[in-house]
Amino acid sequence: MNRSTWITRALTALSVLILLGIWQVGAELIGSGVLLPHPNTTLSALYSLLQQKPFSLNVLATVGRALRSFLIIFTIGGALGILAGYTKSIHAMLVPVLVICKATPVMSVILLAFIWFSSGTVPLFSAFLMGFPVMFVQVEQGVRQISPRLREMTEAYGFSPLMRLTHLVIPSLVPSIITGAKASLSMVWKVVIAAEVLTVPRYGVGSRMQLAQVHLDTAEVLAWTLIAVALTAIGDLVFIGVLRFPKFIRQRKLHHQAGGAA
Amino acid sequence: MILNHVSKTYFVRNQHLPVMQDFSLQMNPGSITAFVGPSGCGKTTLLRLIGGLEEPDSGTIEKTEAEQGAFSYLFQEPRLLPWHSVVANVELVLLPWFSNKGERIARAMEFLDMVGLREFTKFKPDQLSGGMRQRVSIARAFAYPGRIMLLDEPFQSLDTHLRWSLVESFLSLWEADRRTTVYVTHDLSEALLMADLVVRLTDRPMHTISLHPITTPRESRSLADPEFVELQRTFYT
């Protein structure tokens, strides 16, 4: 690692320390645990949360909802994006849906969904409406950017529709799919937790946050917030890991081949 | 192959754009015919019509039995799939023809070897130079069992030295398997060294100005030949 990366890292750490310092000083000055609890009070609230039995249930419920919404968005957004990229009529029909999805405030979607569905379904539905346009638009634009020259080559060399899909369309779309998936995944966490706060299903990070707020237990609200941040960060890391996996396998294979040859 | 009174008009921005009008020509089976004309005179359209990628508005294109079916196309650019290795790019176009993967790979390797890329089969296209990429596309065109070869200025983007070495590679593969070749270019010198018949074309709509059969064997041709010098002088005046 070179000098400038060290300096960057040191500055990032310094910035975190300054933020913690401001938090600590602010808590001292305000002097009220309800308005702003001390950082160490928050950490001990977090510690006691981690020890409680329903902790894993709450986290798993939220993770399950986020993953299910993400998979639905990924599949439907990806498939419709490819179709709309190729078919003008499908694109035209989906335009109003997209405009509505993009312009409607998250809270309206959640409140309306709560009228129509049970509290466990609301987070899935709301996350879908919010995340779908992101995935869809990326994939649709990706289809438009597929090289016409390569398309013409596959036409001249008699590629079947299936060969075109697997060897031209999908590989060309990989960057757009990754961008769309990454952006919709980080959106999904926020919407799912917001929907849980409003609808309070039996288990869920958002439900616990809401209950803590009702009890004016600010330290616990902050502790759940830290957990939500950690979940998003872990989600991003897993995502990056999944992306690197094929490359890792390839390198191992190459390594084996080299070893075999020697 | 015989082109009989072929016409083709495109309709672009509410305007008729006649590209070919009543165009006729006979090409011998197993020969190389070069069409030389200004850029944008409709040469690519001619190739697309011969390949059957487009239909003429009127007229017919008659092919001998040996010329019917699939065709191999060499584009101006290599047009390789960037996510596949060199050998996979060649192997892939053989998929509809050979069900056995081993057979496909063996055929791809054989042709890559013939264009001097044996050492580079596992490379990705972007790890190769422009000339090497075009060699891969030549190997792909010959490995593919196309009955005719359609060449759309495939040597144009390269510097002079590379260009002649690619022309040589092309001719050595072609000598081993003489498929009817239709070759469009705006460079007369390439045409003179490669073709059995040089067709000089006008601007759009495309007409034949003159036909120049070349009987000198390819290996003894030289651009310094007085006949060629005279031809080049008349072409560009």
Segment A131-168, tens digit of pLDDT:
999 999 999 999 999 999 999 999 999 899 999 999 99
Is the confidence at residue A259, as pLDDT, over 70? no
Q: Do B73 and A156 touch (CB under 8 A)?
A: yes
Residue B144 DSSP symbol: S
Q: Give chain A positions within 8 Å (CB) of B77.
A: 149
List Cα–Cα distances, A261 to A254, A256, A257, B85, B106, in angstroms. 11, 9, 6, 20, 20
Q: Give chain A positions within 8 Å (CB) of B72.
A: 157
Q: Where are the alpha helices (DSSP H) in chain B?
A: 43-51, 86-93, 101-114, 130-143, 160-176, 188-194, 226-235
Question: B48 with B154, same domain?
Answer: yes
User: In terms of residue numbers, what domain contains B173?
Assistant: 2-69+147-235
Q: B197 to chain A, minimum CA–CA distance in Å?
A: 25
Instruction: Return the higher-pLDDT residue of B53 and A53.
Output: B53
Cα A221-A225-A18 angle, rounded to 5 deg: 105
Q: A168 to chain B, minimum CA–CA distance in Å?
A: 8
ipTM for the predicted complex comes to 0.86
Question: B154 with B46, same domain?
Answer: yes
Instruction: Return the higher-pLDDT residue of A192 and B23.
Output: A192
Is the confidence at residue A241, as pLDDT, over 80? yes
Looking at B146, B177, B201, the residue that finishes a domain is B146
Instruction: Return the higher-pLDDT residue of A174 and B235.
Output: A174
Most A CBs within 10 Å, among B45, B49, B76, B83, to test the A interface: B83
Question: B141 with B153, same domain?
Answer: no
Q: How confident is the model at residue A261 (pLDDT cuts 50, 70, 90)?
A: very low
Q: What are phi and psi for residue B34, nearest 5 degrees?
A: -105, 130
Domain A58-253 has CATH 1.10.3210.10: no
B77 lies within 8 A of chain A by CB: yes
List Cα–Cα distances, A182 to A102, A131, A261, B13, in angstroms. 18, 10, 40, 41
Question: B138 with B114, same domain?
Answer: yes
Q: Kindly state the average pLDDT of the residues B43-59.
A: 88
Q: In this structure, is residue B75 part of a structural domain?
A: no
Looking at B146, B165, B189, the residue that finishes a domain is B146
Q: Using alpha carbons, select from A199, A195, A176, A198 the residue that is nearest to residue A187.
A: A195
User: How many domains, in total, are found in chain B?
Assistant: 2
| pLDDT tens-digit series, residues B170-221 | 888 888 888 899 999 888 888 888 888 989 888 878 888 888 888 888 888 8
pLDDT of residue A1: 60
Q: A94 to chain B, minimum CA–CA distance in Å?
A: 28
Q: Distance between CA B191 and CA B236 in Å, rounded?
A: 14
Question: B167 with B183, same domain?
Answer: yes
Question: B181 with B108, same domain?
Answer: no
Q: In this structure, is residue B217 part of a structural domain?
A: yes
Residue B79: both structure tokens together: 């047009």
pLDDT of residue A219: 92
Cis peptide bond prior to B205, omega within 30° of 0 = yes
Q: In this structure, is residue B55 part of a structural domain?
A: yes
| pLDDT tens-digit series, residues B61-113 | 888 888 888 899 999 889 999 999 999 999 999 998 888 899 999 999 999 98
Question: B178 with B220, same domain?
Answer: yes
Q: In this structure, is residue B138 part of a structural domain?
A: yes
The type of residue at B177 is D
> pLDDT exceeding 70 applies to what percent of chain A?
96
pLDDT of residue A134: 93
* Nearest chain B alpha carbon to A147: B79
* Nearest chain A alpha carbon to B50: A156
Q: In this structure, is residue B109 part of a structural domain?
A: yes
Question: B154 with B87, same domain?
Answer: no
Q: B49 to chain A, minimum CA–CA distance in Å?
A: 12
Q: Distance between CA B40 and CA A253 in Å, rounded?
A: 48
Question: B155 with B221, same domain?
Answer: yes
Q: In this structure, is residue B74 part of a structural domain?
A: no
Question: With contact defined as beta carbons under 8 Å apart, do B107 and B98 qualify?
Answer: yes
Q: In this structure, is residue B226 part of a structural domain?
A: yes
Q: In this structure, is residue B32 part of a structural domain?
A: yes
pLDDT of residue B187: 83
